[in-house]
Amino acid sequence: MIVSAVMVPHPPIALKEVGHGEENKISATLQAYREAMSVIRDSQPETVIVLSPHALMYRDYFNISAGKDAYGDMGRFRARKVSFHKEYDEEFTDALTHSLRDLGFPGGTEYDREPELDHGTMVPLYFLDQVYTGYKLVRIGLSGLPLSLHYQLGQKIRETAELLNRRVAVIASGDLAHCQKEDGPYGYRPEGPEYDRRIMETMGTATFAELFTYSPEFLNQSMECGHRAFVILAGILDRTSVVPHVLSHESTFGVGYGIVTYEICRQDETRNYLEQYEQQERLRIQAQREQSDAYVRLARSSVESYVNYGKVMRVPESLPEELYETQAGAFVSIHKDGELRGCIGTIEPVQSSLAMEIIRNAVSACSRDPRFPAIEPSELPYLEISVDVLGKPEVIPDKSYLDPKRYGVICTCGRNRGLLLPDLEGVDTVDEQVSIACRKGQIDPYDDDLVLERFEVVRHV
């Protein structure tokens, strides 16, 4: 069972052997850390699970560290004498891995390639070991998968603890925003202080439903570190009444450090936040579907036909005339939980009609985008789909003819070609637009032979 849970940062400078006196500038964090680790000590866990952003991280897989034990030291921070040798809870790791495998969930020990402990794990253990050492360790990394899957992983962790009747403490290790001050290591962005304000309110009141409302773009702009670890923690505490205790928040060095502990109370079926979120998403997307135009409805029908039955649908007979009579390049974009789930398109028409162009590209977007696994039937109620119909590209002399909100860009160098659609969230400058398009086409943006083209689109949502 889960006996204690804490949210802590992992600043190496908090260690006196690293800080050499600088740690005294975050005295509130140090005091809060000691209090948080005392909470874990008092709960007498057999197993301590550390959720670390700096453990091995894959885009589409949750890595669980394997083996009997692990070693690590703070040599990277010029304090090699600060070292750790930890025994892993192999029984817990094996049980969790088998549970995930049976579920078809993307996580386990199969791709573990990082035997040494990371600082996101070692910093919390440095403080914990000062008051308690009677535990075995489980170390789990984050992923680039949607927040909903991080929450689900938390649910499976809790189920495993209950299955093994194991006393488990959970440490969600994560710094907050990294862009709090101009003189900080990453400069200043307004999203930095805003993220810290929001996340301390969310975690400090244990209103975990709000964790799903942070957009991917906002998280990226805030340069946060631990949000996904906090979501896993929320999943571990699913259907559980807790009393949160906010111990500290500081951003002295331009990086946010927040510490919150959670007093575990009783089962509470009303705190089923993932189910609530999924229900809200189903209703929102259903309303969106009812308002979408013929282009998007066609793309969605194509996706559903292929995902459910493995068949490319025929062109329906009741579409607007322009879909039969027009030929044009088109992109079909699929999003889930606010994140891209697939996007494939054609710069110029390759099908006999725009309708068939959309149908074929929708199939490719849901099943052949090399960046993502094929979409599963269970995902269909949560997909947002848009269609961009491309105007004819025109060659331009230089970047001054671009506007990332109005024009898409095509970058060509020899046989390599990269395209980026216009008006994308987070792409605000011409340089960003060209850089991303060149990267997609494996092109040097400073190559003298680079050819730029611009195009307009009609976006259907």
Tell me the pLDDT tens digit for each residue of 414-434: 999 999 999 988 898 999 999
**pLDDT band for position 115 (cuts 50, 70, 90):** confident
Band of residue 185 on the pLDDT scale cut at 50, 70, 90: confident
Residues 102-127, mean pLDDT to the nearest whole number: 94
Predicted local confidence at residue 338, as pLDDT: 84
Same domain, residue pair 345 and 435 = no
- Phi, psi (rounded to 5 degrees) for 250: -140, 155
Last residue of one domain, picked from the residues 371, 389, 407: 389
Instruction: Considering only residues 81 and 185, tell me which one the structure prediction assigns the higher pLDDT.
Output: 81
The confidence score (pLDDT) of residue 303 equals 98
Residue 355 has pLDDT above 90, yes or no: yes
Q: Residue 99: is its pLDDT beyond 90?
A: yes
pLDDT tens digits, 12-42: 999 999 999 999 999 999 999 999 999 999 9
Q: Please indicate, yes or no, whether residues 70 and 145 belong to a single structural domain of this protein.
A: yes
Answer with the residue of higher pLDDT: 160 or 426: 160
Q: Please indicate, yes or no, if residue 37 is contained in any of the structural domains.
A: yes
Q: pLDDT tens digits, residue range 211-227?
A: 999 999 899 999 999 99
pLDDT reported for residue 197:
98
- 56 and 166 fall within a common domain: yes
Boundaries of domain holding 377: 292-389
Structure tokens at 314: 């025929």
Domain termination residue (choose one: 215, 248, 275): 275
Regarding whether 450 and 360 lie in a shared domain, the answer is no
* CATH code of 459's domain: 3.30.1490.150
Residue 113 predicted with pLDDT over 90? no
461 and 325, same structural domain? no
Q: Judge whether residue 47 has pLDDT over 90.
A: yes
Q: For 246-283, how does the pLDDT look when each residue is reduced to its tens digit (9 = 90+)?
A: 999 999 999 999 999 999 999 999 999 999 999 999 99
Return the pLDDT at 121.
Answer: 98
Note whether residue 30 is domain-resident: yes
Backbone angles phi, psi at 87, to 5 degrees: -85, 130
pLDDT at 339: 87
| Same domain? 317 vs 381 | yes
For residue 68, being part of any structural domain is answered with: yes
- Contact residues for 104 (Cβ-Cβ < 8 A; gap 6+): none
Residues in the chain: 461
Do 54 and 181 fall into the same domain?
Answer: yes
Q: Over the chain, what is the mean pLDDT?
A: 96
> Does residue 325 lie within any of the structural domains?
yes
Q: What is the mean pLDDT of residues 433-448?
A: 94
Q: What is the pLDDT of residue 184?
A: 87
Q: Are 384 and 395 part of one and the same domain?
A: no
Nearest CA to 15 out of 173, 156, 122 is that of: 122
User: Strand pairing partners for 390?
Assistant: 457
Report pLDDT digits (tens) over 138-158: 999 999 999 999 999 999 999
98 falls within a domain: yes
Claim to verify: residue 367 and residue 378 sit in the same structural domain: yes
The pLDDT tens digits of the residues spanning 291-332 come to 999 999 999 999 999 999 999 999 999 999 999 999 999 999
pLDDT at residue 206 in the model:
98
Q: Given a cut of 90, is residue 177 above it in pLDDT? A: yes
Provide the token pair at 361.
């590209």
In terms of domains, do 29 and 177 share one?
yes
CA-wise closest residue to 356 among 384, 390, 318, 329: 329
Confidence at residue 351, expressed as pLDDT on a 0 to 100 scale: 97
Q: In the structure, what pLDDT confidence band is assigned to residue 114 with cuts at 50, 70 and 90?
A: confident
Backbone angles phi, psi at 178, to 5 degrees: -100, 5
Say which CATH number the domain at 297 has.
3.30.700.20
The CATH number that applies at residue 104 is 3.40.830.10
Listed in sequence order, the residues at least 6 apart from 105 whose beta carbon sits closer than 8 Å to its beta carbon are 149, 152, 153, 156
**What is the average per-residue pLDDT within 55-61?**
93
Percent of the chain with pLDDT strictly greater than 70 = 100
| Residue 281 domain flag | no
Q: Which of 230, 246, 275 is the last residue of a domain?
A: 275
Instruction: Report if residue 286 sits inside a domain.
Output: no
Domain tally, the chain: 3
- Asked if the structure places residue 40 within a domain, the reply is yes
The pLDDT score that the predictor gives to residue 229 is 98
Residues 239 and 371 in one domain: no
- Looking at the structure, do residues 378 and 400 belong to the same domain, yes or no? no
Amino acid identity of residue 317, one-letter, is: E
